[in-house]
Amino acid sequence: MASSIHKKDGWNSRIGVILAVAGSAVGIGNFLRFPGNAAQYGGGAFMIAYITAFLLIGLPICWAEWAMGRRAGREGFNSCPGMFNVFSRHPMPKYVGVLGLVIPVIIYMYYVYIESWCLGYAVNTLTGRLHFGSVADAGAFFSKFTGASENGSALGFNVDQVGVYLIVVFILNFLLIYRGLSKGIEWFCRYAMPTLLLLAFVILIRVLTLGAPHPETPQNNVVNGLGFMWNPTKVYLEESVPSDDGSVRWVRVSEIVGPRLRKEAETMAQSDQYRVVELNVWKQLLNPQMWLAASGQIFFSLSIGFGIILTYASYLKRDDDVVLSGLTATSANEFCEVALGGLITVPAAVAFLGVAGLAGAGMSTFSLGFHVLPLVFSEMVGGQVFGFLFFFLLFLAAVTSSLSMLQPGIAFLEEALAINRRQSVAILGMITAMGTLFVIYFSEGLKALDTLDFWAGTFLIFVMATFQIILFGWVWGVDRGLIEAHRGASISIPRIFGPIMKYVTPLFLIGVFILFIVFNVLGVNFNGESALSSYVTDLVGTNPNRVAWMSVSLIMLVGVFFTLMVSGVEKYRSFHRKGGRRQS
């Protein structure tokens, strides 16, 4: 039965699969996470790290996933455990492939919660409920809407609470995934992606024509917003503060953008209390946290290391072009991220709040998207309409991403249990519904969401991506993999990517993973001091956090569930007994 299901489901067209893969990649992070990272780490320097990570991690893993997925799909396997089993007779890879199920399923459990925020904010903006006088007011609404103020409070069903929107988006996702690849995911992405681009262009034109919205603060304008976002050199005003031991330390007061603020800062720096400091590109590139941020952005941006592209590619035909399709999908994502996301959110925020106001409000994904931008739209002429369009844009981007997170689990259930679409949707629906209820009930401080995102949405992705590129380059073999990738391809992968995929990408990933452990887990800072990350102390500290423990237990429980299922799949064992891993 699994085989017949595989034959019935598939893509209708090349543009369909490209839009679906691009849709899985284009999400909330393109319009909120990327701009915040670029502004925080200096646009020019961050882009060097970002492009480097794209060339050494993004493209190699992307092409590897497209080639591996299509190759394993010809053997009738559409899930990561089955696909990894194709490339190695050893049983270990199929169990590591469980990560390609755990990661998207766990991420869906909290991502659909965030997705409901976008729909809720779109509705509340259109109906005039998001008029705020300060960032604090916006933050108070956010806490009430999401339930971040108290556990259980997210279960409300008023128009200014997340409950009703969560039900709508959860049902929408499963209705679409029930319809299958071509009639569900591909159909939705065919309309959602062009609509998303159109909305982004409309909002971009509005932002770039803002000028200086408040005449009394001419330095707060779009040009300075673009400078804050993209200037390769960062300029700061620092103040001297006496320490307890009698020495003097310099504390960063604010970032300086624009000639007027630069002149004011230089005037202040004529005293001994202040100084102006410039950080050029090369100094910024020495910051390991920036490389971590750039690499992490590439993972989220391209949906690599999730098991999603592997699953999507497994439904391709034998001679479908994976090289050009992969390049086109990644290019579409990069355009949305850099050319659209990088020009909308931060410049608009600086135009209304100024650099200091934006820095004070915060540039994290949630602060920028749900605290700062609602305030911006409150003050913007026509902000009610443009705010609705922006949050609806985020909603569309979120749906195209969340749909892709469900398909790996659906494919595995149908493959492992030989069941039909209705049965697989019912099983995965129950699993994800219970996980999502856990996330929204333990909503205080968004603790459950944050813990799941760190361990499943960051830590495990590094592990999965590293294993996958090693499997491609060292077990299956780069030469064999590139031959497969070039089957039916209209363009060739440059030869330089052969050694990059075999040597450079694994080493780069291992290096980034070590930095991640040192800085984000062990908590080492630039002074050589260390304090374990809160994600670790929540589990093993003197006062462990109950919600953090339950969140990690949820990840482990889902992992054990899928592992036990993998161990009992006769199809995986019989593949090698029948002389599997054909070279054709």
Give dist(CA 203, CA 225) in Å, integer: 15
Give dist(CA 46, CA 39) in Å, integer: 8
**At 199, which helix (H) or strand (E)?**
helix 187-208
- Domains with residue ranges and CATH for the chain: 2-212+284-577 (1.20.1740), 234-279 (no CATH)
Max Cα distance, the chain (Å): 81
pLDDT tens per residue across span 15-64: 999 999 999 999 999 999 998 888 888 778 899 999 999 999 999 999 99
> Residues 26, 28, 34, CA angle at the centre, nearest 5°?
85
Dihedral sign for Cα atoms in the order 508, 513, 514, 519: positive
Q: Evaluate whether 243 touches 52 at the Cβ level (below 8 Å).
A: no
Give dist(CA 98, CA 102) in Å, integer: 6
DSSP codes joined into one string, 396-463? HHHHHHHHHHHHHHHHHHHHHH---HHHHHHHHHHHHHHHHHHHHHT-GGGHHHHHHHHIIIIIHHHH
Give dist(CA 269, CA 237) in Å, integer: 8
Give dist(CA 25, CA 44) in Å, integer: 23
Give dist(CA 155, CA 199) in Å, integer: 31
Nearest to 458 by CA among 18, 45, 83, 33: 33
Does the model's pTM come out above 0.85? yes
The three-class DSSP label of residue 244 is coil
- pLDDT of the chain along its 584 residues, tens only? 444 444 557 899 989 999 999 999 999 999 999 988 888 887 788 999 999 999 999 999 999 999 999 999 999 999 999 999 999 989 999 999 999 999 999 999 999 999 999 999 999 999 999 989 888 899 999 999 999 999 999 988 999 999 999 999 999 999 999 999 999 999 999 999 999 999 999 999 999 999 989 888 888 899 988 888 888 888 888 888 887 777 788 887 888 887 888 888 889 988 888 999 988 888 888 888 899 899 989 988 899 999 999 999 999 999 999 999 999 999 999 999 999 998 999 999 989 988 877 877 777 888 889 999 999 999 999 999 999 999 999 999 999 999 999 999 999 999 999 999 999 999 999 999 999 999 999 999 999 999 999 999 999 999 999 999 999 999 999 999 999 999 999 999 999 999 999 999 999 999 999 989 988 888 877 665 667 889 999 998 789 999 999 999 999 999 999 999 999 999 998 988 776 654 44
pLDDT tens per residue across span 169-201: 999 999 999 999 999 999 999 999 999 999 999
